[in-house]
Structure 1
Amino acid sequence: HFGGFGNAPKFPVPHNLMFLGRYYFRYNREQALSMLEKTLTSMRMGGIYDHVGFGFHRYSTDKEWILPHFEKMLYDQALLLIAYTEGYQLTAKELFKQTAEEIVEFLKRDMLSPEGAFYSAWDADSEGEEGKFYTWTVEELKEILTEEEFELTKKIFNIKGDGNFLEEATRRKTGRNILYIGKTYEELAKDLGISISELKSFIEKVRLKLFNAREKRVKPLRDEKVLTDWNGLVICGLAYSGRVLGKKEWISIAQKCADFILNKLKDKNGILLHRYMEGEAKHYGFLEDYAYLIWGLIELYKANLNGVYLQKAIELQEQQLEFFWDKENGGFFQTPSFFTEVPIRKKEVHDGAIPSGNAVSAYNLIRLGRMIGNGEFEQYGYKTLQVFSWEISNFPSAHTFSLIALDLVLNGSKELVIVPVGENWLEPKEYLDRLYIPDLMILKKDSVTERFSKFINQMKVENNKDTYYLCSNYVCEEPITDINVLNEKLKGKKRKN
């Protein structure tokens, strides 16, 4: 009824939603799409979403997405940015696009460091009280809003005189209100007897008043560590969503963040480090640092086709295999082979609030392998999934990102290589970027891709026109110079009208 999975506490788990989108795409199961839509809508209209300053709180303490635990985590924003963008691609719902844009506004305003990387989190507490920064008494609202504005705001955001917010531990009312809508804009506008445009305009006017008032409050503490793994996720989210929604600024922010991580979070030998704070980088990287950063660099390459980022992804992938791969049994350890501080090296495969490092690594290896024709990478990806096949098949709901990787194994992928003459290829790429085709990898022939890929090396320009090579399972079709022919061959799930 409320979307999501399980009862309280209820976490967003964005990779579950990403899996549902792919399942619908692959098998045309409408139920998967409706589950995706319901969850994205319920979260966005619930109290887990910050309707004043944007961004998502960490989890809901109830099954209806109303009462949040107020921490805001960087990884949630990054992965939900992808989930809402994919939701928009599949449904054309403006609410999902709006949510993606608002998440980025929050990231830029409240999480971005002056150097271009992203901080880790905002605490739940301020002035010794959980949620005080985000909640409101009736008296506080009346001081900020006109009487007419307050009466309508009360109906829109479910404001109660004695408060609607329950303290998490005791479940007692605190006299304060969390803003939540709990229904769609269409349903709410109908209930209030106004148009959707009037409703949205009013909400934005009130939001700005409340935001300006809230900025004068004592803010929760911000955790200003820059973590490689979580920044890898936000690079991924910004690059993916920027590419799909045509937001070049987002791609530029992702690129600046990637440059910072690649320059500042390595030791003198080029080995990845885990965290940066107050000018100091420390601690050798864990499995997720490599997995998420490689994922982010692959998406950044897909967004800007700058071969430098593909090269960095390949170099880090080779480093990850050297330091983390279990040479006896397969799969990846959490810690590198030279890391002596922990006597026992663990492996983890099940997803939590974010995808497991092994699942993302398998996904990266399969994609990179197919992008550059590196069968060895691809075999490492297969082996990772095989090692954990019992866990994945017996507990699939805890391994949805492994299932996303498995989808590539079972159903293949498409690689589109652009051999450019001038800049005319940009327009068809931007068109393809908007489509939901999760198994499509786009590359451009240049000095980097030629160096890493023998099969790209052999591709030539035809008839002095931008030329496209569509490949699958290491077999390429005849070169294409007509974009209409290419579009016909790449029929994806376009946005619904």
Structure 2
Amino acid sequence: MSTANHKYTNQLIHEKSLYLLQHAHNPVAWHSWNDETLKKAVVEDKPILVSIGYSSCHWCHVMEKESFENEEIGKYMSEHFVCIKVDREERPDVDQIYMEAVQSMGIQGGWPLNVFLLPDQKPFYGGTYYPAAQWKKLLENVKTAFEQQRDKLEESADQFARYLSHSELQRYGIIEDEQQMAKQEFQEKIADLYQTFSEKIDKKLGGMNRAPKFPMPSNWLFLLHYHYYTQNQEALQQLELTLDQMAYGGIYDQLGGGFARYSVDERWFAPHFEKMLYDNGQLLSLYAEAYAHTRKSLYKTVIEQTIDFIKREMCSEEGGFYSALDADSEGEEGKYYIWEYDEFSKVLGNAAQLVGDYYHVEQEGNWEKTYNILYRNQSEEAFAEAHELNPTDFKELLEDSRQKLLNSRKERIRPGLDDKILTSWNGLMLKGLADAYTYLQETHILELALRNAHFITDKLMRRQGDKARLYRSYKEGKAYLDAYLDDYAFVIDAFTSIYQITLDEQWIHHSEQLLAYCIENFYDQDEGFFHYTHEEANLIARKKEIFDNVIPASNSAMARNLYRLSRLLDHSDYLEISERMMSRMLKLLDTDPAYLSNWAILYMEMMQPEVDIVVMGDEYKTVGKKLLPYYSPNRLIAGAKKESKFMLLQGRKAIDNQTTIYICRDKACKMPVHTVEAALDQLKEIS
């Protein structure tokens, strides 16, 4: 970033993060979080201000404009504090610690997150957004307290530091209440989990019964798997209602595809318009599995349009995926996506009235001022029938209109792009693409997935003997920052899924190398769970992610990785670690499955029959591809031409020089067959 024509330039000018660079010309002496800055606070004996946000955070930008661009406030901050800016997406470890600290103070967390620390990194006060006058007064009060009541601040900070150092497992009673998993208890327990979860679902509009509404993909994946195993029709109805309403709502970009981060209302109507890679990757997986199970054309359309969005707006030339699109353009939230009636009519001409009815476009606007958010409340077929239209003709008209509107929208000033490439989020998108290819079988999806997979191995991975290590971020041709547990967890999951769709063993070898590094450097042998940070991290606490949220917890993702890879490979220690983790989560699982849904999915996987498909012979890849669309949540596919070290393939061979298929359920196998049709018949028998 150029320093020309800027009155102020601080140390953030040397960073790569878009969010940090956005603050590089504030009249604040901002620094990044690093050892040198932390040493500066000790040497100068100043309190530290840590201000945490991310590039597409609306209120982060508001506070910057009101306070951090204010010369008087900036001068005061620089004189009396060591000021550190943190991009929470690059440094989730720092964000986790100080978010938890603020919440322990009885303050609701959020971003921007502003926390005051002693020079030794211990927190003593914090909050979120402050208007300029309130922020200036707070700075003055903190300065005075640090100078005149430091002993009290140190006492308070020590208490918070002790709280932060407590193990999450001890805090939630996970260690002492270890349980053994028993299959005879499974049906009752999983039904209770579903009942607890179901009570919080919005039965009319889908999603959880609250606003704002976040997609929370792992929750609905739990519901899908629960229905598959139990055939509970209410669960399927709740799932389809949620997926339908999200796809119909303004949270979904009706023209360009892809989902916004959340809906501010209960109807999925008005989004907070930022688009995040991690949401869209997980939602691809969810809609792909839902399509495989229900064959609803709506879900296929969502998958195809979302992938088009990713290819069009989120792809780097090297094959990585960018992080996010901002909610704002031209200083106005949602401006890129919303329509005034006259503009909409001008683009579509004679078709405007009919298409406008379908998308609920109103002359006076259906949202703020005279603006319209495009949304729908019924399928194309239902609308055509209600208006006595030929369904095929209306479908063609709608697609033609969508392209015209999309082309017109491209002429607008686009929202800001956060072009850093995050390893964990790329893992989530890669998994989503693998799942989409599994059930749609479209070549361009596979090509996009493999391009990204090779980008990760070439640019973000470094091999160390029989292990491999990841970087967290990539930008401008350079990988930087050591990776966290979620980076490893989601990439391992993605590589294992890439193996499923290619039967190319290199992806399992990569997963093994990454997993070996994790066990050596992140695994806590005493507690049986994984730390979020590498053992070398210079922080006041080393945390463990336990609870699933908008992204599954890194520990639940690792436990599922270990379980799945233990089935493919002869690694009993993988299964032992995974079962140990899951058994210790059982009691906590009863409390709120909405924030433990990925654990609930693993619990079902462990308790339900395993389905293994093994293909041996010259045509193993071709035959394996034809078997991919068979849907079972607990299904694994493996194959090779002749032999392999994979446990699942040992003792298997092509019979009579013909490609041979082995179908097994809980390690009990059917007679080997030579045709896809015969294999599918066997799969139907064991379903």
The residue correspondences of 1:396-407 to structure 2 (distance < 5 A) are 396-407=593-604
1:467 paired to 2:638? no
> Which residue does 2:572 correspond to in 1?
375
Contact 1:45 1:180 in 2 (8 A): yes
Give the letter aligned to residue 407 of structure 1: M
Structure 1 distance, partners of 2:545, 2:576, is 20
Q: Distance in 2 between matches of 1:99 and 1:389?
A: 35
The answer (yes or no) to whether the contact 1:84–1:96 under 8 Å persists in 2 is yes
Kindly indicate whether residue 518 of structure 2 is the aligned counterpart of residue 320 of structure 1. yes
Deviation, 1:446, is 5.6
With 286-295 and 393-402 compared, the bigger mean Cα shift is at 393-402
Q: CA deviation at 1:482?
A: 5.3
Q: Aligned equivalents of 1:372 and 1:479: distance in 2?
A: 21
Q: How do residues 244-255 of structure 1 correspond to structure 2 at under 5 angstroms?
A: 244-255=439-450
Indicate the larger mover: 153-162 or 106-115.
153-162
Q: Which amino acid aligns with 2:433?
A: L
Deviation at 1:106, TM superposition (A): 0.8
Instruction: Please give the per-residue CA displacement for 1:370-419, whole angstroms capped at 9, x wherever unaligned.
Output: 11232211111111212333322221121111111111111131222222
Which one of the candidate residues 111, 121, 124 is aligned to 2:314?
111
In structure 1, C-alpha distance between the alignment counterparts of 2:677 and 2:328, rounded to whole Å: 55
Structure 2 residue 545 is matched with structure 1 residue 366:
no
Q: Secondary structure at the match of 2:684?
A: coil
Whether 1:431 and 2:629 are equivalent positions in the alignment is no
CA distance in 2 between partners of 1:432 and 1:208 (Å):
35
Do the aligned partners of residues 266 and 343 (structure 1) sit closer, same or farther apart at CA in structure 2, a change above 3 Å counting? Answer: farther
Matches within 5 A, 1:271-290: 271-290=469-488
Match of residue 451 from structure 2: 256
Which residue matches 1:174? 369
Task: Tell me if 1:75 matches 2:278.
Answer: yes
Instruction: List per-residue Cα deviations over 1:154-195 (Å, max 9, x = no partner).
Output: 211111222112xxxxxxx32211111122223322332213
Instruction: Indicate conservation of the 8 Å contact 2:502/2:621, yes or no.
Output: no
* Correspondence for 2:396: 201
| Alignment equivalent of 1:242, drawn from 421, 437, 456 | 437
TM-score, with length taken from structure 2: 0.67
CA distance in structure 1 between the aligned counterparts of 2:216 and 2:503, rounded to whole angstroms? 30
1:169 is aligned to none
Q: CA deviation at 1:209?
A: 1.4
Task: Provide Cα deviations, 1:89-135, integer angstroms capped at 9, x if missing partner.
Answer: 11111111111111111111111110011111100000000000000
1 CA distance for matches of 2:360 and 2:411? 24
Instruction: Tell me the amino acid that sits aligned with residue 490 of structure 1.
Output: L
Give the secondary structure class of the aligned counterpart of 1:145: helix
Which whole-Å CA distance do the structure 1 matches of 2:409 and 2:345 have between them? 14
What are the within-5 Å matches in structure 2 for residues 347-362 of structure 1?
Answer: 347-362=544-559
State the alpha-carbon separation in 1 of the partners of residues 303 and 601 from structure 2.
Answer: 22
Aligned with residue 324 of structure 2, among 121, 127, 138: 121
Q: Is the 8 A contact 1:57 1:70 kept in 2?
A: yes
What is residue 156 of structure 1 aligned with on the other side? 358
Structure 1 pair 355–161 and aligned structure 2 pair: CA distance change class (3 A): same
Q: Could you tell me which residue of structure 2 aligns to residue 385 of structure 1?
A: 582
Instruction: Work out the CA distance in 2 between the residues paired with 1:325 and 1:390.
Output: 22
CA distance, structure 1, for counterparts of residue 685 and residue 458 of structure 2: 37
Structure 2 partner of 1:298: 496
Question: What secondary structure, in the 3-state scheme, does the structure 1 residue paired with 2:455 have?
Answer: helix
| Contact 1:465/1:481 (8 A) holds in 2 | yes
Q: In the alignment, which residue of structure 2 is the partner of 1:168?
A: none
Deviates more, 1:153-162 or 1:98-107: 153-162
Shift of 1:247: 1.4
Superimposed CA distance per residue, residues 3-61 of structure 1 (whole angstroms, 9 cap, x where no aligned partner): 11122100111112211221111111111111121111111111111111111111111
Structure 1 letter corresponding to 2:679: L
Which secondary structure state, in structure 2, belongs to the residue aligned with residue 434 of structure 1? coil
Cα-Cα RMSD: 2.0
In the alignment, what sits opposite 2:651? 458
What residue number does 2:149 align with? none
Distance (Å, rounded) in 2 between the aligned partners of 1:116 and 1:415: 32
Structure 1 residues 288-330: Cα deviation after superposition (integer angstroms, max 9, x where no partner): 1011001100110000011101111111111111111111111
- Contact 1:233 / 1:292 at 8 angstroms: preserved in 2? yes
**Which segment drifts farther, 298-307 or 235-244?**
235-244
Number of equivalenced pairs: 481
Which amino acid letter does the alignment assign opposite residue 460 of structure 1?
A: K
Secondary structure of the equivalent of 2:479? Answer: strand
Is contact 2:273–2:334 with CA below 8 Å preserved after alignment?
yes
User: How much does 1:368 deviate?
Assistant: 0.4
Q: Distance in 2 between matches of 1:123 and 1:186?
A: 34
Distance 1:354 1:492 in 2: 35
Instruction: State how far apart, in whole Å, the 2-side matches of 1:55 and 1:450 are.
Output: 40
Point out the structure with max Rg over C-alpha.
Answer: 2
Q: Kindly indicate whether the alpha-carbon contact (under 8 Å) linking 1:116 and 1:260 is maintained by their aligned counterparts in 2.
A: yes
Cα distance in 2 between the residues matched to 1:445 and 1:309: 14
Q: Which of 49, 57, 66 is 2:252 aligned to? A: 49
CA separation in 1, counterparts of 2:469 and 2:446? 25
Contact 2:567 2:647 in 1 (8 A): no
Give the whole-Å Cα distance in 1 for the aligned partners of 2:622 and 2:561.
27
Output the CA distance in 1 between the equivalents of 2:444 and 2:358: 33
User: Which of 632, 640, 651 is 1:445 aligned to?
Assistant: 640
Superposed, 1:7-46 pairs within 5 Å as 7-46=210-249
Quick one: distance in 2 between partners of 1:461 and 1:203? 50
Q: Which one scores higher on RCO, CA 8 angstroms, separation ≥ 6? A: 1
For 2:366, the aligned partner's letter is: N
Moved more, 398-407 or 136-145: 136-145
Output the CA distance in 2 between the equivalents of 1:271 and 1:483: 39
Aligned to 2:209: 6
Q: Distance in 2 between matches of 1:7 and 1:293?
A: 32
Equivalent pair of 1:24/1:32 in contact (CA under 8 Å): yes
- What residue in structure 1 maps to residue 608 of structure 2? 411
Match of residue 81 from structure 2: none
- After TM superposition, give the deviation of residue 492 of structure 1 in Å: 7.9
Partner AA of 1:308 in structure 2: Q
Q: Which residue matches 1:192?
A: 387
Contact 2:503/2:621 (CA < 8 Å) preserved in 1? no
1:484 and 1:128, CA in 2 relative to 1: closer, same or farther beyond 3 A? closer
Q: Distance in 2 between matches of 1:122 and 1:35?
A: 30
Matches within 5 A, 1:202-217: 202-217=397-412
- Deviation at 1:284? 0.9
Q: Residue 117 of structure 1: SS of its match in structure 2?
A: coil
Q: Give, in angstroms, the shift of residue 456 of structure 1.
A: 2.7
- Alignment of 1:488 with 2:681, yes or no, is yes
How far off is 1:279 after superposition? Answer: 1.3
Asked if 1 retains the 8 angstrom alpha-carbon contact of 2:624 and 2:639, the reply is no
Identity %: 34
Query: In the alignment, what sits opposite 1:220?
Result: 415
Deviation (angstroms), 1:136: 0.9
Alignment gaps of 5+ in structure 1? 166-172
For 2:647 and 2:625, the matched residues in 1 are separated by: 26
TM-score (norm: length of structure 1)? 0.92
- Between 122-131 and 26-35, the greater mean CA deviation after superposition: 26-35
Query: Which whole-Å CA distance do the structure 1 matches of 2:352 and 2:393 have between them?
Result: 16
Q: 1:483 to 1:140 in 2, by over 3 A?
A: closer
CA distance in 2, matches of 1:102, 1:492: 35
